[in-house]
Chains A and B, each alone.
Chain A
Amino acid sequence: DSGVTQTPKHLITATGQRVTLRCSPRSGDLSVYWYQQSLDQGLQFLIQYYNGEERAKGNILERFSAQQFPDLHSELNLSSLELGDSALYFCASSVLAHGDTQYFGPGTRLTVL
């Protein structure tokens, strides 16, 4: 157990819908990262937050957004969902913005029908 929690574990929804994925980092970790794992794209970095502020952006679609709250948990919002958004979404956390290891949560499996 990495100490990073993600909810829900599974999510099934329809095209055009909006969903919110939640992540709680390890105790003491200030930085949260979101990654998407799909069969065709592999593991891709989406976005990073550090202590409530956006720190880095990767291949995140405009339909996707995220935020980190004062208690350091983070939410990833996915809207206008398409079939191709079906994937495993991971949250990872680390103590600082740089210099250390990222520990991954168990992931949220999103299925868009």
Chain B
Amino acid sequence: AQTVTQSQPEMSVQEAETVTLSCTYDTSESDYYLFWYKQPPSRQMILVIRQEAYKQQNATENRFSVNFQKAAKSFSLKISDSQLGDAAMYFCAYRPNSNSGYALNFGKGTSLLVTP
């Protein structure tokens, strides 16, 4: 079974600063996808960024980027120039790319507080 671990229940960052959220996962698969989802107080699950395991290049989406270390099974999210609207719960998710199923396995989440 695959497990996803987010070791930081809460993080805090000042506006305009940079913060990194950690995620590790355990799998025996070689082909998979990794995601970061954001859940603001509205409870909507919003996709932040996605990484294919076969791609060595780290994914970036505007102020959001990842550090994907396949050998270490690590997938951290970096938020640059943090904004008040970035305050939310962030979930790391893993999904295998095999016929064993395509469900997302989520970590417990990291609550990000952004202070002015």
Contact = CB atoms under 8 A, between A and B. Distances in A.
Interface stretch (B12-20, B22-30, B72-80, B97-105): B97-105
A45 B104 contact: yes
Interface size class, chain B: 20 to 34
Contacts of A97: 102
Nearest to A50: B102
B44 to A, nearest CB: 5
A104 B102 contact: no
Nearest to A56: B101
Main secondary structure of the interface of B (DSSP, over half): loop
Interface in B34-61: 35, 37, 42-47, 50
23 contacts: A2-B44, A2-B46, A31-B102, A35-B104, A42-B109, A43-B104, A45-B103, A45-B104, A45-B105, A48-B103, A55-B101, A55-B102, A56-B102, A58-B101, A58-B103, A88-B43, A92-B104, A101-B35, A102-B104, A104-B44, A106-B43, A107-B45, A109-B43
Interface of A: 2, 31, 33, 35, 42-45, 48, 55-56, 58, 88, 90, 92, 94, 97-99, 101-104, 106-107, 109
Interface of B: 35, 37, 42-47, 50, 91, 97, 99, 101-109
Given A42-B109, A45-B103, 5 more contacts: A35-B104, A42-B107, A44-B106, A56-B102, A90-B45
